[in-house]
Structure 1
Amino acid sequence: MRIGLAGVGRIGAFHARTLAALDFVDDLVLFDAVPAAAKALADQVGAGIANDAPALLASGIDGLVIATPTPGHAALLRAGIAAGIPTFCEKPVAATLDETIDLANLVAAGEVPVHVGFQRRFDAGYQRARAAVAHGELGFVHTIRANTNDQAPPHAAYIPTSGGIFRDCNVHDFDILRFVTGREVATVYATGANKGAAFFAAAGDVDTGAAVLTLDDGTLALVSSTRYNGAGHDVRMEILGERGSIAVGLDDSLALDSAEEGVDFPRGPRKWSFMERFGPAYRAELTAFADVARGERPSPCTVRDALEAFRVAEACELSRAEHRAVALTEVKGL
């Protein structure tokens, strides 16, 4: 297959290296708004380059991967759809709720498949947890705890365009919560705090967030995140049920120290970034996209899925701002 990749920043460069190592990729073509960056990465991974987005779309590609900064996602996604090219888009597909809704309607009205990049759906632990819930192994589920703790904050310039901690960081938790449980979020109550760098507050954001979500079957989900987890990158989910419980991310890389004497768990080594934590999931995700592009399977994560996770994040930001519980019916949807 001939794959086109737009954007060679942190996640784009990671995707390029991942794609270059996958057997189904015969040719890789890169485009970036900074041509020198595209050229440097192309030389490293043995890829071609396109001078602009139209040239990338016209280069005979079988699939398009969008990994630009968020403001460029929607326009490139529309261009890929218009060109009839199966497209993979990193989350979010758009910076605003209204444009996300427009894109969900556009994709639903057409036949061009779009796969949104929520890589946790391809992690073996989350897939096992989903099966445990679906098969009733835990009995009824009453409580879920999910966290996304970054080892260190991103660059200050990233925060003003990130959408805030719930849209940028916890949106992964919101998507995987839907994936694992098969339920929708009914209400949220969210809050946040700043104890770190001043640039978070300057952008109207927080460096630590927490939310209590009530699902449509009454399950309670406790979701938290922080940009300051010096012990390591820590992404986990605990599902507590009537007859049993199961955890994702509870292995020797766990970024926690026990306060109990004589406990040698976890032994390490720890992980320090989401790319390290989810390397196999990213490979599985892009392999699945190849199947989508070849017409062998439907999209495993649609724009509609991305919209529903985005709506939960919107509700959390509204709750944080107004210090109240917010029902998802207050947030526009399809």
Structure 2
Amino acid sequence: RLGRLHTVRAVTSDPAPPPAAYLPLSGGLYRDCLVHDFDILRWVTGREVTEVYATGSDLGPVMFREAGDVDTAAAVLTLDDGTLATATATRCNGAGYDVRMELAGELDQLGVGTDERTPLTSAEPTGPAAPVKPWPGFLERFAPAYEAELAAFVDVVRGERINPCDGREALHALRIAEACELSRRERRLVHMAEIPESPQEE
């Protein structure tokens, strides 16, 4: 339907920062928050990330600077077929909890995660107004997904099905997050080949 996919845009915005004590333990915005976008990017496209360039801003609450973290981040990711993806995140989106993705191809464009509760207001006179009840957080937004995950986990423990998502998938997403953190810290393009796939490679 989309034809050749050329652009993917992922957005994750928390409505308010977490407690200050959580930040030093969180792993940072790329590992704690955007790692989910990296995971879904691989799943949706069926492609691997080959290189990343990431940056971040810590101009929000001082606790982010104190923790060596950022409150807002952006990454440009190149996939192995040349598709470009952007992933942005912030801890300071007062409008509400916003998680969505756009996929653009040569023939069509598709949006995922947009509904009547998406905390986005159009500036156009005829566009959508602010939602009456925007999503307040991830627990409410993704409750059905968490229930499905728990049901799948129980089935796996009972031996009734094979694990549909083992630790290798999480490792791939984490490696992308690690590459983004390295890119932000060193202000440079990072190739995924620089990030070890196992401790033995270090």
Common fold by TM > 0.5? yes
Instruction: Tell me what 2:8 maps to.
Output: 144
Q: Which amino acid aligns with 2:34?
A: N
1:262/1:285 CA distance change after superposition, 3 Å: same
CA distance in 1, matches of 2:40, 2:161: 20
Given the two structures, how large is their TM-score scaled by the length of structure 1? 0.58
Instruction: Tell me what 1:202 maps to.
Output: 66
What is the CA distance between 1:296 and its match in structure 2?
A: 2.3
The answer to whether structure 1 residue 260 and structure 2 residue 124 are counterparts is: yes
The answer to whether structure 1 residue 245 and structure 2 residue 113 are counterparts is: no
Q: Is this contact kept in 2: 1:200–1:207, CA < 8 A?
A: yes
Instruction: Tell me what 1:220 maps to.
Output: 84
CA distance in 2, matches of 1:306, 1:216: 19
What is the 5 A alignment of 1:21-40? Answer: none
Q: Is this contact kept in 2: 1:166–1:317, CA < 8 A?
A: yes
The answer to whether structure 1 residue 173 and structure 2 residue 37 are counterparts is: yes
Give the RMSD, CA atoms, in angstroms.
Answer: 1.1
Deviations 1:46-76 (A, max 9, x none): xxxxxxxxxxxxxxxxxxxxxxxxxxxxxxx
The answer to whether structure 1 residue 308 and structure 2 residue 172 are counterparts is: yes
What is the CA distance between 1:195 and its match in structure 2?
A: 1.9
The answer to whether structure 1 residue 161 and structure 2 residue 161 are counterparts is: no
Q: Is this contact kept in 1: 2:13–2:91, CA < 8 A?
A: yes
Structure ranking higher on relative contact order (CA contacts 8 Å, 6+ apart): 2
Q: Is this contact kept in 1: 2:50–2:78, CA < 8 A?
A: yes
* Structure 1 gap segments, 5+ residues each: 1-136
CA distance in 2, matches of 1:303, 1:208: 28
CA distance in 1, matches of 2:41, 2:164: 15
SS in 2 for 1:247: strand
What is the CA distance between 1:266 and its match in structure 2?
A: 5.5
CA distance in 1, matches of 2:13, 2:130: 17
What is the 5 A alignment of 1:1-334? Answer: 137-265=1-129, 267-334=131-198
What is the CA distance between 1:194 and its match in structure 2?
A: 1.4
What is the CA distance between 1:154 and its match in structure 2?
A: 0.2
CA distance in 1, matches of 2:150, 2:25: 25
Percent of aligned positions with the same letter in both sequences? 59
Deviations 1:155-189 (A, max 9, x none): 00000011110000000000011111111110000
What is the CA distance between 1:245 and its match in structure 2?
A: 1.4
* Structure 2 gap segments, 5+ residues each: none
Q: Tell me which protein shows more helix as a share of its residues.
A: 1
Q: Which amino acid aligns with 2:40?
A: I
Given the two structures, how large is their TM-score scaled by the length of structure 2? 0.95
Q: Is this contact kept in 2: 1:251–1:266, CA < 8 A?
A: no
SS in 2 for 1:318: helix
Instruction: Tell me what 1:26 maps to.
Output: none
CA distance in 1, matches of 2:176, 2:27: 13
What is the CA distance between 1:324 and its match in structure 2?
A: 0.5
1:246/1:268 CA distance change after superposition, 3 Å: farther
CA distance in 2, matches of 1:250, 1:243: 21
Q: Is this contact kept in 1: 2:120–2:131, CA < 8 A?
A: no
Q: Which amino acid aligns with 2:155?
A: D
CA distance in 2, matches of 1:274, 1:233: 7
What is the CA distance between 1:265 and its match in structure 2?
A: 4.6
Count of equivalent residues? 198
What is the CA distance between 1:250 and its match in structure 2?
A: 1.2
CA distance in 2, matches of 1:268, 1:178: 33
* Larger CA Rg, structure 1 vs 2: 1
SS in 2 for 1:172: helix
Q: Which amino acid aligns with 1:332?
A: P
